[in-house]
Amino acid sequence: MSGIELQDMDDIVLETRDLTKHYGGVHALEGANFILHKGEHVAIMGDNGAGKSTFVRQITGVEQRTRGDIIFDGKSVHFSGPLAAREAGIEAVFQNLALADHLDVPDNLFLGREKTMWNWLGPFRRLDYKGMRDDTIAALEKTGVKIPNIRNTIQNMSGGQRQCVAIARTASFHSKLTIMDEPTAALGVQETAQVETIVRTLKDAGEPLILISHNMRQVMDLVDRIIVFRRGRIVANLNRHETDGQDVVAYITGAKTQPEYEMEGAA
């Protein structure tokens, strides 16, 4: 750790210590130590299969870790599932868009946390369609996403529109941490620009973000810090202003490893 930065413990939103995930013999994630500060936007880069998505799945409770600690919002957490993580304030856009094709935009935005009435009816409580519609329109306006007809099912939308729905979903709920796993990988130039606009909106609002991306220009444009994963391990923690594209690529490909990570890497 460089002692130059002010590192107040209260300042930390998320910390992982020795976070590890094995799938049988596959060591997908090994001993990840990671810190995210309030309001900070951090990119995670690395080759396909480096363990980036695995890292996200452990934090968001989609999977249960093999080993290690996750400290979120000052507390050690063990999320039983994505809902628990979300209730704690972690919103995630997963790589394989978690959208239901046959449902419309408000349905997808509120999937799993519907606004309801008549709650005494338990699972048969009534959906507040109007409330969800109004909130959807407000959320899309806030994020600058425009979809002409939100009553249409997602399946008839373009990849960009679907992505925007997924991102609007995370951005429209007051979360303490947003995680996006390759949000623009399948998008065109203009759609990508739109997603980046949403990311900047989050930055201005002071909401912290973890962004997984292969897009060097995007990463350099958007984030404060870059973490590089290689073969399941963190190999670099780079301040955006102290690095450049070539440098990052050197870490991604394995040409370089930061000294403080070298020992672990050899273990």
Ligand X SMILES: Nc1ncnc2c1ncn2[C@@H]1O[C@H](COP(=O)(O)OP(=O)(O)O)[C@@H](O)[C@H]1O
Interacting residues with ligand X (CB under 6 A): 23, 26, 28, 46, 48-54
Residues of this chain that interact with Mg ion (CB under 5 A) are: 53, 95
The least CB distance from residue 218 to another protein, in Å, is 15
Between residues 36 and 168, which has the closer beta carbon with respect to another protein? Answer: 168
The least CB distance from residue 148 to ligand X, in Å, is 33
Helix axes 159-171, 129-143, angle to 10 degrees: 100
Interaction with another protein in 146-205: which residues (CB under 8 A)?
Answer: 146-149, 152, 155-158, 160-161, 164, 188, 190-191, 193-194, 197
- Candidates 2-10, 69-77, 106-114, 227-235; binding stretch for another protein (CB under 8 A): 106-114
Q: How far apart are CA 176 and CA 174, in angstroms?
A: 7
Question: 85 and 75 in contact (C-beta within 8 Å)?
Answer: no
CB 224: neighbour CB atoms within 10 A?
A: 17
Give the one entry of Mg ion, ligand X, another protein, none that residue 138 binds, where binding means its C-beta sits below a cut-off of 5 to 8 angstroms depending on kind.
none
E-only strand ranges, 5-131: 12-23, 26-37, 41-45, 67-72, 75-76, 90-93, 116-117, 126-127
- Site of tokens 């810090």: 225
Helix axes 189-204, 159-171, angle to 10 degrees: 10
Between residues 53 and 161, which has the closer beta carbon with respect to Mg ion? Answer: 53
182 Cα distance to chain centroid: 9
Between residues 22 and 203, which has the closer beta carbon with respect to ligand X? Answer: 22
Q: How far apart are CA 258 and CA 228, in angstroms?
A: 10
User: Rule CB under 8 A: is residue 76 a binding residue for another protein?
Assistant: no
- Give the interface with another protein as residue ranges (CB under 8 A): 62, 81-84, 86-87, 92, 94, 96-103, 107, 111-114, 116, 121, 123-127, 129, 144-149, 152, 155-158, 160-161, 164, 188, 190-191, 193-194, 197
